[in-house]
Chains A and B, each alone.
Chain A
Amino acid sequence: MPKNTIIILILAVCILFASCRHTILGEETTGQQVELPETGLPCIFEYDTGERQLKSGKLICTITDARLINNINDLENLDGFTEDANILFIDDHDEIVFKYPDWINENGEFIEGAYLLLVDISVTSNGAESYTRHDINEFGDAIGMYDDPYLFRADSLVYLQDTHYGTDGIMTQEDTDGTKYTNIAAWGIDYFSERNRISENPNVFRLSPGETMEFHLGFLISDITEKGEMDLGSLYLTKVMGDKDQFIIHLNLSQEEE
C-alpha cells in the first residue's frame, strides 16, 4: 500500500474521532445572551468549617455574574459537562430526557426551551484546608478523600433550587406503604469550566492559601413555559438542597426571556 494512502487513512481516522467528540459543533454562531436583571450581584458567601468538609480556614466565594446562554459556542471550555448533563421536557405527560449532547443542534444552539445558567464565581482561600485521607475519625476511618489538603469540590459549592413546587422547593409525598418522604426540586452542577484538570476527581479544583481562582459553573434549565420543568421566575442558588435558610440569591431569570 502506498505511503500516501496510509497517511490519508490515518488522517481520516483522526478526523473521524475528532468529529465524534465534537459533533455538537457547527458553524461559528452565537445565540442570544441577555444580561440578568437586578439580582444583587456580586453575591458573597463563605464555605467554611461549620458543617462543611473543611479542616480549617474558609473559602470565600463571590458570584460575579449569572446569565442564561442557549448556544454551545458561548462556552470557553466545551469539555466541562458532567456525565449527567441531561435535560428533561414534558410532552402531554410523557417525560422526554435529552442526553448530552442531544439537546444541542448542529449549529450549536440548544433545543427550544433549553438553557444553560452560567454562573461566574471567584473563590479565594482564606487558609482553607480540606481533610485528607490521613485524618482519622473516632472509628478509625479516614475523613478525607485525597492526600492533597488544597483540593476542593466545585460540585458542592452551590445548587439550583426551584420554589415553584413549594415554598422551599419541597413537596411532602406519601409512599404506597405510608412512608412519608419529601421531594426537592433541586439540581447539582451540569458544567464546570475547570473540569478534568485534577486527576483525583474531575470536579475538584486546587487552591493554596491566599490564592484566588475564577471559573464558571453551569446548570441546565428546561423552561416550564416551553414544556420544561423549571420556572425561570422562582430559581435560587443555594448552599444546601432543601433548606431555604441556605438560599444565596434569587436569580429572577423570567425577565431575561422577555
Chain B
Amino acid sequence: MKKSRRFLALVLTVITLMSVMAVTAFAANNQNTYPTVSINTSTFSPGQVREKTDSSKIYYRGLVCADTHTFVQARGSYSNSTSASYINKTVANKLAVSYVICRKDVEYAITNLINEDGYNYARLYFKRLTTYTTSASTNLEYVWSPDSVGSGYTVAT
C-alpha cells in the first residue's frame, strides 16, 4: 500500500513538473524571427509586430544592411494592427530616448518600457543615419525577439 502511494506521489510530481514546464515555455516570446524591411534617411520605418509578454529587454541584431550603423526605436502598442499607433518606449542610460544606435552584426539588448507601461505588442522602428548620404532606401535584414533570455548582449545606448 505504501509503495503504491509512493508511486502515485511520484506520478503526480512528474505531472506537476511537466505542467510548470509547459507554462514556462509559453511565458516569454523569445524565439528569434528574421524580418527584412526597407529603411531610409527621412522617416522611421517599422518592422515586424510581435507580442511582448514580459518586461525584459528586446533582443536585436542587424544582419544584412548597406549601412554599418542604424537608428533603432522600440515602440509599443495595445494592438497588433499595423495601422495602430506605436508609442516610442526606448530607454538608454535610465532615460527615455528617441532612439539608440546599433551596429550591424552585434547582438544588442534594447531597454524599453513597453511592458511596464501596459503595452502588449512591440515593434522596432529603423532609420538610416544621415551620414549615409544617399537618399535612396536600403534593405535591413535583422533578427529579434520581443522578450529576451540570457546575458552577455551589448546594452544599446
Contacts and interface: CB of A to CB of B under 8 A. Distances in A.
Interface in B1-41: 1, 4-5, 7-8, 11, 15, 18, 26, 29, 31-38
Interface in A101-125: none
A207 B36 CA distance: 21
A181 B44 contact: yes
A182 interface: yes
B105 A184 contact: no
B105 A143 contact: yes
B38 A241 contact: yes
A95 B119 CA distance: 14
Interface stretch (A25-33, A36-44, A56-64, A172-180): A172-180
Nearest to A1: B4
Residue from A180, A182, A201 whose CB has the most chain B CB atoms within 10 Å: A182
A155 B33 contact: yes
B130 interface: no
B81 interface: yes
Interface in A80-102: 82-84, 86, 88, 90, 95, 97
B33 A51 contact: no
Interface string A158-175: 010010010000011101
B79 to A, nearest CB: 4
A6 interface: yes
B31 to A, nearest CB: 6
A185 interface: yes
A181 B85 CA distance: 10
B11 A240 contact: no
Contacts of A90: 81
A203 B63 CA distance: 16
Contacts of A179: 44, 88, 98
Contact of A243 (B11, B98, B137): B137
B139 A139 contact: no
A13 B16 CA distance: 11
A52 B64 contact: yes
A208 interface: no
Contacts of B133: none
B138 interface: yes
Given A86-B51, A181-B125, A241 B37 contact: yes
A240 B42 contact: no
A212 interface: no
A142 interface: yes
Contact of A246 (B4, B38, B63): B38
B34 A155 contact: yes
A84 B35 contact: no
A81 B64 CA distance: 26
A10 interface: yes
A52 B141 contact: yes
A52 B38 CA distance: 13
A233 interface: no
Nearest to A168: B38
A179 B51 CA distance: 24
Contacts of A127: none
A171 B32 CA distance: 27
Contacts of B26: 83
A243 B38 contact: yes
A141 interface: yes
15 contacts: A1-B4, A51-B139, A52-B36, A84-B51, A86-B51, A95-B79, A137-B104, A143-B105, A162-B82, A175-B88, A182-B45, A187-B48, A229-B83, A241-B47, A246-B139
Closest CB pairs A-B (n = 3)? A243-B38, A181-B44, A1-B4
